[in-house]
Amino acid sequence: STRTREQTPACAGMGNCQAADAAAVVIQHPASGRTELAYWSLPAGEVMAANPGHYVAAVITAPHTASEGGGAAPVKHLKLLRPDDTLLLGRVYRLVSFEGTSRPPPPSSRRPLRSLALRRRAENVSRR
C-alpha cells in the first residue's frame, strides 16, 4: 500500500511546503482539492490501484511564445501515464477520472481504415 503525506490546499502556497515539494512526488486530487506527497519514486499503477476509477496524468507546463502574448500564464497539459510508468521526484501528477477521458474506438472500427490504407498503398505502388 502507498504511504504518502496529505497536504492541505492552504499549505500548498506557503514557502516551507514548496521546498519539500522539490524532493517529493506531488499527486493532486482535483475532485477533493487534496494533495498527496510521496518522498520516493513509485509506479503509476500503484497510485491507480489506490484510487479506483482514475488514471494518473503528468502535468506538463509549456511556456507561452511571444506571439501568444508574453504576459499570459504558462499553459498546462496533461499526459496520461501507463501503469508501468514511474512517478518521479520533483514532478507533479494529477488524478483523472475515467469519465473525464475519451476511450479509443473498438478494434473493429479500426479495420476499415487499415484496409483503406493498404489499398491506397497498393494503388501507389502499381502507378510507378
pLDDT of residue 10: 39
Q: Identify any residues that bridge with 13 across adjacent strands, giving them in sequence order.
A: none
Q: Please give the residue range of the domain that contains residue 104.
A: 5-127
CATH of the domain at 95: 3.10.20
Cα-based distances in Å from 114 to 25, 89, 111, 119, 121: 41, 41, 5, 9, 11
pLDDT of residue 110: 46
More confident residue, 70 or 42: 42
In tens, the pLDDT along 45-64 reads 999 999 999 999 999 988 76
Number of domains within the chain: 1
Tell the burial category of 23 from Cβ atoms under 10 Å away from its Cβ (0-12, 13-18, 19+): exposed
In tens, the pLDDT along 77-124 reads 999 999 999 999 999 999 999 875 665 545 544 445 555 566 666 666
